[in-house]
Amino acid sequence: MRIEFGDLKLGESARRHIDDVLRTSWVSAGPKVAAFEEGWGKLFGYKHNVAMDNGTSADMACCMTLYDLVGAERGDEIIAPALAFAAVGNSIVAAGFRPSFVDVRKETLNIDATKIEEKITHRTRAIIAVHTMGKPCAMDPIMELAKKYGLKVIEDSCEAHGAKYNGKYVGHFGDMAAFSFYAAHLICCGEGGMVSTNDSQVAELLNSVRSHGRKPDSLYFDHLRFGLNFKMNDLEAAIGLSQIEQFREIFDTRKKNLLYLMDRTLDLQDIAYFNTESPNEEVTAHAFSVTLKDPKLDAQRLAEFLESNDIKCKRNFGSMPTQHRAFEFLGHRLGEFPEAEYIGNNGIHFGCHQYLTKDDLDFVSDKLHEYFATAR
């Protein structure tokens, strides 16, 4: 494929960090992981940072802290957007909770904050706010609801490294924030994740949860709570350290690519919803999203056309509770989440990563225009 979702190119810095690891006999969570946690925290001002093996584990670990933080019980509810990568719903279920899904908005792909309150029950323990495609959620109303009902807030920031809402980095609003370092994301470790928090109690719980619920810093098998092995290894951290050193350059290049594509598709605004950026936010360039305004333009056919021209595409996630068989056991029915379902049927996205050239971006734009010229 000419246009991939991301790429991993190891420079001299990454090779030096990897060589450091290979010269030792310690690859599991060690000094490179600790250095990566410290460097990540310094980038965005997060006080505590707990590295995980991937973003799904980061989400799941956040959910698992609720047993201690709020006295949650298995089967309690966590509110989440109906449309997001399936890891969001999977992590809630795997941690022992029931997802309570809320519809999203087509224009943003994010949870519709006006629809959250009606889903809050006496068993609701937290809200997961997913900053989809790097666009920050409307955090002010979410935090107001959390305060009103005594709920914890988890920010799924896996696609939103460095994004800002009202001048603050995402991750500084809720009680904790989950990140992913998969290949499509700004900082890439191959695999890897992080949970950042400004709360020392949350950090202590996360350190326990990622190591089978053991008592932190204990030499003995003293398991205090439900936990699993979520630890990042030093080889992944070694790759991530080099990315941290280049973060601002990566962020700015990807953002430039995103803004260029947004500008090149201004004449197609009547045809599709594309990425947007409001004055009170700084969006992270995770990917370029296209959600058709007319279903007759056929998102599946668009995806096939782009793929045939070496532009790798993915669906805009779809409605977890009603468009993915994995969540059938929850008993939802088509029609309950009309916005998420519409996006799932009519939306795709593709990469805008830092290694794409202007010629690549022009090629993508030209192919979009070519498709719509014949499909209309």
Is this model's pTM higher than 0.85 or not? Answer: yes
Give domain 247-375's CATH superfamily.
Answer: Aspartate Aminotransferase, domain 1 (3.90.1150.10)
pLDDT band with cut points at 50, 70 and 90 for residue 221: confident
Q: Alpha-carbon distance 145 to 166, whole Å?
A: 18
What would the mean pLDDT of 196-203 be, rounded to a whole number?
A: 98
Supply the angle between the helices 200-209 and 55-64 in degrees, to the nearest 10. Answer: 120
Residue-wise pLDDT for 88-115, tens only, equals: 999 999 999 999 999 999 999 999 999 9
What pLDDT is recorded for position 356? Answer: 97
pLDDT band with cut points at 50, 70 and 90 for residue 271: very high
What pLDDT is recorded for position 220? Answer: 77
What pLDDT is recorded for position 228? Answer: 97
What pLDDT is recorded for position 25? Answer: 72
What would the mean pLDDT of 183-187 be, rounded to a whole number?
A: 92
Q: Residue 135: what are its φ and ψ, rounded to 5°? A: -95, 120
What pLDDT is recorded for position 183? Answer: 87
At residue 218, does pLDDT exceed 90? no
Q: Alpha-carbon distance 8 to 239, whole Å?
A: 9
* Residue intervals in the chain for CATH 3.90.1150.10: 247-375
Assign 117 to helix, strand or coil.
helix
* Residue 3 CB partners (closer than 8 Å, separation 6+): 310, 311, 312, 350, 351, 356, 360, 363, 364
What pLDDT is recorded for position 24? Answer: 83
Query: 190 forms bridges with which residues in the sheet?
Result: 182
Residue-wise pLDDT for 144-174, tens only, equals: 999 999 999 999 999 999 999 999 999 999 9
Q: Alpha-carbon distance 23 to 172, whole Å?
A: 37
What pLDDT is recorded for position 298? Answer: 97
Q: Alpha-carbon distance 116 to 134, whole Å?
A: 21
H-helix or E-strand spanning residue 268: none
User: Could you give the percent of the chain with pLDDT greater than 90?
Assistant: 90
H-helix or E-strand spanning residue 272: strand 272-273
CATH topology of domain 12-103+110-245: Aspartate Aminotransferase; domain 2 (3.40.640)
Which one-letter amino acid corresponds to residue 203? A
Q: Alpha-carbon distance 58 to 72, whole Å?
A: 18
At residue 186, does pLDDT exceed 80? yes
* Residue intervals in the chain for CATH 3.40.640.10: 12-103+110-245
Token pair of 121 as six digits = 């029950």
| CB-based contact 232:96 (threshold 8 Å) | no
Q: Is 97 exposed, middle or buried (0-12, 13-18, 19+ CB in 10 A)?
A: buried
Report the number of secondary-structure helices (H) and strands (E) in the chain. Answer: 13, 14
What would the mean pLDDT of 292-320 be, rounded to a whole number?
A: 98
At residue 204, does pLDDT exceed 90? yes
pLDDT band with cut points at 50, 70 and 90 for residue 9: confident
| CB-based contact 197:41 (threshold 8 Å) | no
H-helix or E-strand spanning residue 350: strand 347-351
Place of tokens 């973003």: 55
Work out the mean pLDDT of the chain and round it to a whole number.
96
Q: Other CB atoms closer than 10 Å to residue 228's CB: what's the count?
A: 17
At residue 245, does pLDDT exceed 80? yes
Q: Sheet holding 314-315: strands in order across?
A: 272-273, 287-292, 347-351, 314-315
Which one-letter amino acid corresponds to residue 267? D
Query: 180 forms bridges with which residues in the sheet?
Result: 193
What would the mean pLDDT of 222-233 be, rounded to a whole number?
A: 95
At residue 219, does pLDDT exceed 80? no
pLDDT band with cut points at 50, 70 and 90 for residue 279: very high
Q: Residue 156: what are its φ and ψ, rounded to 5°? A: -80, 100
At residue 26, does pLDDT exceed 80? no
Residue-wise pLDDT for 321-375, tens only, equals: 999 999 999 999 999 999 999 999 999 999 999 999 999 999 999 999 999 999 8
